[in-house]
Structure 1
Amino acid sequence: MSKAEDVVNAMIDACNRKDIEAALACFHEDVVYHNIPMEPVTGREGVRKTLGPFLDMAQQVDWITHKSVSNGVDLVMNERNDRLLMPHGWCDLPVMGVFEVRDGKIAAWRDYFDSAAVQALLGGGS
């Protein structure tokens, strides 16, 4: 496993613990976080404002990485299911993530998913 994979896995582990501060520590201060097809956000505070509410509203977080590939230097791609236990039950979002790592921190994070699935998650899906 590469150091780039280590930092991505540490961020996912922090999200699974609902520890936003530990997750934010994995990001470069000028990170660009883009949930495709939404607008990208920049900086750790942008990540906090986007990711934090999901971690806060979930009773439990269980992001499962099925496959992860890395160029061994600065790029990690993973296939995940981001699972959140909401008041109405588990919501399961299939995701493809792309992470660029610089200086041991995540400098760019792009997640690709079906936006209809997010609407179901927010509105009381599966």
Structure 2
Amino acid sequence: MNQSDNLLVVLDDDKIMHLLLRKRINLLGLVSDLKFFDQASDALNFLSEAPQAVVISDLNLGVMEAWEFLDSLFNQGFQGKFFLMSSSIINSDRVRANADPRVSGFFEKPLSETDLIQILQA
């Protein structure tokens, strides 16, 4: 993560995933500012003031799916890096993510330390 990219935002409606990721990310010691959200609308509001953040979003969010979140995020001027994660093994999701230039990477849940290092060094 570059000095200017010291903010990592995680969006996932699964609180257990928040705990797991917080522990893994803190063990790596590569992030100075870490925020978790379980509602896409809350994350969008926060990110409107932090357009350079690195975002990791679950694909399936419940009320607003990740694709709608991604559209809204970039419509409000987001300039950071956006990564998707999913426990889904549906190949079309990976193909769509790889074809979208706004998506910096697609990872399977749960994220490993290797995945997190790759995200944070992107």
Q: Compute the TM-score of the two structures, normalised by the length of structure 1.
A: 0.28
Q: Normalized per residue, which structure has more strand?
A: 1
Q: Who wins on radius of gyration, i.e. which is larger?
A: 1
Q: Normalized per residue, which structure has more helix?
A: 2
